[in-house]
Amino acid sequence: MIGLENIEKQFGDLMVLKGVSVAIREGTVTALVGPSGGGKSTLLRCINLLEIPTSGAVRIGNDRLEFHPGQKVTTAAIQRLRRQTGMVFQNFQLFPHRTAIENVMEALTTVLKWPEAKARERAAALLEKVGMAHKADAWPATLSGGQQQRVAIARALAPSPKVLLCDEPTSALDPELAQEVVDVLSDLAREGTTMVMATHDLRLASSIANEVVFLDAGLVVETGPAREVFDNPQRERTKRFITTLTQEVAKGRHG
């Protein structure tokens, strides 16, 4: 379904991703985890080409793009791949001058050229799905962080992407608001939505991910079923990371 083949990404002299290969099956949820600076957000952004890999190949469905140092990729090729993805950002990135429902409609009317009535109907159904129908006409500034993120999820789902990409979807939220978002993503996972998420949130990753990819210093250290990686990591580096995360979760509960 999604294949990342030998992805390298360089920023100036810094090699952020060093030959990363990951296969993601349709209908699964894959969590990219690891320390800050390990490469997980960059890898996620390489899937929808918000970051253009220095070298390697990205495949979504039947579309495959190869990258070579110094070689330009056409805008048309980038758009063809990107349109198969929906992106949920850490800081929501809703349009402040659009209501909740208008935010969800935006891509349908401007990119896909849907008639307004059809777009509004689709947007209303998605807001219902994420528990935000009662706030359809609210401005983003009047919504809590958890509510904004749920609208952002509805917006990302609007064009029916093949894969939903989530970049630290709960990290800007306090635990109570984060739970609202975890619940929505859990429902989507149960429905078989293909998702890839970069996250520090152990609760999110362990509750809804089928597969885990642990990245450190731009390399895949360990990968496997979520339950196995979290409960019985094979690599020493993974064990240390999971222990640290678990301690943070426990501290948060008692704090």
pLDDT tens per residue across all 255 residues of the chain: 899 999 999 999 999 999 999 999 999 999 999 998 999 999 999 999 999 999 999 999 999 999 999 899 999 999 999 999 999 999 999 999 999 999 999 999 999 999 999 999 999 999 999 999 999 999 999 999 999 999 999 999 999 999 999 999 999 899 888 999 999 999 999 999 999 999 988 888 988 999 999 999 999 999 999 999 999 999 999 999 988 877 776 666 555
Asked whether residue 15 is assigned to any structural domain, the reply reads: yes
C-alpha distance from residue 219 to each of 7, 81, 202, 209, 237 (Å)? 10, 24, 20, 20, 12
Total Cβ atoms within 10 A of residue 76: 7
Q: Does one domain contain both 72 and 173?
A: yes
Q: Does one domain contain both 145 and 243?
A: no
Q: Does one domain contain both 143 and 128?
A: yes
Domain hosting 136: range is 100-160
- Please classify residue 180 by burial: count the beta carbons closer than 10 Å to its beta carbon, then call 0-12 exposed, 13-18 middle and 19+ buried: buried
Q: Which residues pair with 167 in a beta bridge?
A: 198
Q: Does one domain contain both 64 and 185?
A: yes
Q: Does one domain contain both 230 and 169?
A: yes
User: How many domains, in total, are found in the chain?
Assistant: 2
C-alpha distance from residue 223 to each of 51, 109, 235 (Å)? 23, 39, 10
Q: Does one domain contain both 220 and 142?
A: no
Question: Could you tell me the CATH number of the domain that includes residue 187?
Answer: 3.40.50.300
For the chain, what is the radius of gyration of the CA atoms?
18
